[in-house]
Structures are given as C-alpha cells and as structure tokens.
Chain A
C-alpha cells in the first residue's frame, strides 16, 4: 500500500543504493523511516491480527449499524458545513468589517479545543434543560442522544477545515477577475457562479473531503453529546470497555480497511 519514495539520483538501477550519497540525504531518509514506522506499523499489525475476525465483524449488527450511522451522519454534517461554511469563507476572503480578525481567529478554536470538552460545551447549550435546547425541543429538534446530535458534534469539529480550505480557494482567485466580470454586466451572484466558483472548485472539494474525513473519525464530542445511536468510534469504545481488547480488534481491523479503501478510491478518482 505504501509507495516507495522516489529519490532523485544519477541514473542507476532503481533499487540500488546510490554510489554518491551525502550524510544529509541518509539522515533525512532515516528520520522519515522512523515516522513511517510509527504510522504504519500499528496499522499493518492490526490488519494482520484482525484478519481472522473480519468476517464475523461484518455480520455483527452493532458494528455494521454503527458504521452506517457514522457514514450517514458524516454526510449530513458535511452538507451542513458546506452550505453554511462556504458563504462565510467567501465573506471572510472578500469583505472587510469590524471584528473580522477576531472572528477569523475564533474559527481555529474547534481544532484546539479537546474534543470531549467541545462535546461538553455543546451539551451545555443543547441539552433539553439548557436555554437553547429547550427552545429547540419546542420546535421538535433534539440534539442529545439522537442522530442530529452526532451530526452537530461532527459539524462543530470539522467546520474549520471546510472554511479554511474554501477561504484559501477564494483567496487564490484574483479579485481583478471578479471586477472585470462585473464591468461586463455580471451581478455579484453571477460573478460568483460563473467566475469565482469554477476557479475555486478544486479547493472547495478538498475542503469537503477534509471535512468529511474529520467528521467521520470524531469521537470525543460525539461520545459526550450523543452516545446513542452509536457511531462507529463510540461502538468500538463500547466493545473495548465492556469486552476487552480482543473484542475490539476485529472492528478496528474493519475500520482500518475501510479507511484504506476510501483513501485509495479518492486517489484514483483524483487522478482521473
């Protein structure tokens, strides 16, 4: 699965060590190998240990159900973050207003706050006894112990990824292009649709993928706000706590395999 790094040397056989190599190159490669081992060894080992139990994991309703819940919630979270985050990113990238630097800085908070702390903060606001939670209950919306709770927790932690990616994408579009488009008769909405969006689509898509990836792997905020219905990370935690390490291994193997499959899939599509 991991690609052999391609090193640029004078033409020799591809796998043969270079005749001339500096200590610098050797040191860098060795350091790189260290982190590769740290990242990949657990994954490879887990895959090995879990290979036996994968079949039973795939048929366990708790496991499969939690995975489906995770996918669905992450999808919803990404959509919500997209619809609300992209406009915010545009405003931040194009307009000036008082307090802008404060808001801009605050957007990085969800990344720094420990995930369970974020969960508690959300609970404080959204539990049925809380001021906002009470109001929402009247409207029939409940965020604790429901799918929407998972969605909100996921959205909270993954929003900065979308907003930053979209912001960067918009900032890479020259304002001059938008000005020319206006002079040619396009309203601000049409400028966004015909000029800005096509040129920033790539960056925004990247934002969507990062958001989705971050959302689906979220544990801390979800476990506090919405333990039920169990998302995959929560279900794994449940198995680990109640039945021990050996019970958790098959599901872990399955989740790792799925992550790999998604990674490969996205790369293949991107190369197209």
Chain B
C-alpha cells in the first residue's frame, strides 16, 4: 500500500513538525534519515495513528485515514526497543494481533507456528521476553507484526544498538524480508550507511522538516544543502569564491588551493567532495581528473578494509577514503607528499 503525508504539522511541547509532505510508493523500501531529535519517530507515530496531526492529512493507498484510530489501520509497527509484552510468552506475544481480530484459536496456532518457524524462533515459543537476547527479541517483534499481514511496516531504528559485526548480516536479512514480503517498508534511522544500503528512496529530516527527498543516488551524490551533505557523508566541505568560469567549468578558490567544478555558479559558494571520490597518488596521474592538488599527509585512521587519510593542501585539510591495499601500496605515513586527485564532476556545489 502506498503512504502519503500531506502538509503535516504537529506540535509536541517545544518541538514542531512542520510542512511535512511525503509520498511512499507501494512496496518500496523507504528510509527516513535524520539526526536524533529530528522528529522521525514522531512522524512514524503519526503514520501509525498514535498521534493526531494538528494540520494535514494521511493517506493509505489513496484513502484518507487521518481520522482512523491505529487499531483500524493495517499497519505493522516495530518500535525501537521492540515493545514485547513482558507478561506474555513469545507465542502469546505473536498471537496477540490475531487474538484482537477474533481469529479462531486453531487458526491462530497455525499462523503463529508458521511465522515462528519462518523466522527460526519456534523453539522460543514458551519463553518470556526478558529471557531472550536482543536478536531474538527483534525476531519476535517482527513475527508479531508479520502475522497480521499488514500492508505497511514501520520500523523505528531497527538496527540501532546492534553489534557492528552483526549489522551487515541483519541488513541483508531485512532486505530479503522486504523482498519476500513485498510490502511497503518505512524505516527510520540516523545511520547514513543503513539508509544508503537499504533504501529505494530517502527523506532527510532535520528539526521537524523534510530537507530533501530522493533516490539514494540523488541524495547521496547531490545533497541539497550543507546539512544534508554533512549528514550523508560529505567530509570535504569548503567555502570558496569563483575566480574563473569557462565552458561550464568554474575555478573556485577555497582559501589557497583552487578547485575545478562543473557549475555555472558565480561568487561565493560552498563545495563538497565525498572522501571516496578522492584518489591519492605519489605522482600526478595521467588521467582526465581536472583536480590534482599537491599536499602532505597529516594523519590517518585505519578501519577494516579502508583507511581515512587527512591531507593538508596549502593550509586546507582534505579527507580521502582509500582501500587498505592502496594505503599499503602508497606506503603512506605522516609527512609524506601525496597528490589529492578528484574529478571536477565529483565536486558538489551547494
């Protein structure tokens, strides 16, 4: 089912959700990305019906459900801490929704058994939530939502607080679940990696407003403003002045080094370059890259298969993300001279 939010406004204490317009297509994986306190959970609660918007309408498959109470919307809600009923066993938890819909006991047993088996937790059915591990609780919360076959799933920070080593596996499982269920997922998170790896479309939220909506590519490669850029991982953000412009290419002085970017802009501007769009080389490379800047390594951080290198180019610090293999090949160390290289098209002018 498609979900649409039209001009939603909601005030809660000092916080206000303003002018929220959202359109989620049927069956897609939609991620709402934003820092903590942006209003993401609030938005989810409005979609679920726990909160009534002060203004605006909510539509489910074209139907106005703004005045419909949550128990009448067919929406599966999985809260951040799973919300398992502590006084019920796993089986009773999962059966709850069916019991509320007055399904016959035999059918309940059947359906619950099916879902528990599907998620590999049927051996836990007589256990109480407090005896379960975090991962097991997550599965029970999912099973409970799945068994009533909702048309939309709302997931509040489902991967937050998960061991980083487990995260990759869980992301894959979530993606597979989405594929097999073929239902609309609305996933809320502050983790941009999660968003980039799972979403079909993303909405970036900040202080109660939606600041950009688009496909992963659109948002991650063409952030609409400085905030979004920072949030989606642009590390090299510099203020500069266009000092030359010809044939659609502008030369921008960022306080020393000059950067060439594909833009018609004039005057002062903010530019951003993704660390992964930067290549480091010991000699100026023979390639089509218009930006080749000489600098000196001032520091680096190695993390897993990648390394983040900080290079000082004429007083301006660039951050590049390269593979460990490249790092070893280049024999990088603090003080070493390297060339910071990137295409003009990699420079985003905000």
Contacts and interface: CB of A to CB of B under 8 A. Distances in A.
B77 A183 contact: yes
Interface string A185-210: 11100100011001100000000000
A182 B70 contact: yes
B96 A182 contact: no
A186 B83 CA distance: 15
B97 A179 contact: no
Contacts of A183: 48-50, 70-71, 73, 75-77, 145
A266 interface: no
Contacts of B106: none
Interface in B91-121: 96-97, 100-101
- Dominant secondary structure of chain A at its interface with chain B: helix
A185 B101 contact: yes
B100 A177 contact: no
Given A184-B144, A185-B100, A185-B101, A177 B71 contact: no
Interface residues of A, number: 17
A180 B77 contact: yes
Contacts of B86: 199
A180 to B, nearest CB: 4
Given A179-B45, A179-B48, A179-B70, A184 B83 contact: no
A198 B50 CA distance: 22
Nearest to A177: B83
Contact of B71 (A185, A195, A199): A185
Nearest to B148: A184
A9 to B, nearest CB: 33
Contacts of B233: none
A180 B81 CA distance: 11
Contact of B50 (A182, A186, A195): A182
Interface of A: 174, 176-177, 179-187, 190, 194-195, 198-199
Interface of B: 45, 48-50, 69-71, 73, 75-77, 79, 81, 83, 85-87, 96-97, 100-101, 144-145, 148
27 contacts: A174-B83, A176-B81, A177-B85, A179-B48, A179-B70, A179-B77, A179-B79, A180-B77, A180-B79, A180-B144, A181-B85, A181-B96, A182-B49, A182-B69, A182-B70, A183-B50, A183-B71, A183-B75, A183-B77, A183-B145, A184-B100, A184-B145, A185-B97, A186-B71, A186-B100, A194-B96, A199-B86
Given A177-B85, A181-B96, A190-B100, 20 more contacts: A176-B83, A177-B83, A179-B79, A179-B83, A180-B83, A182-B49, A183-B48, A183-B49, A183-B73, A183-B76, A183-B145, A184-B145, A185-B71, A185-B100, A186-B96, A186-B100, A194-B96, A195-B85, A198-B87, A199-B87
Listed from nearest, the 4 A-B pairs whose CB atoms lie closest are: A184-B97, A185-B100, A183-B77, A180-B83
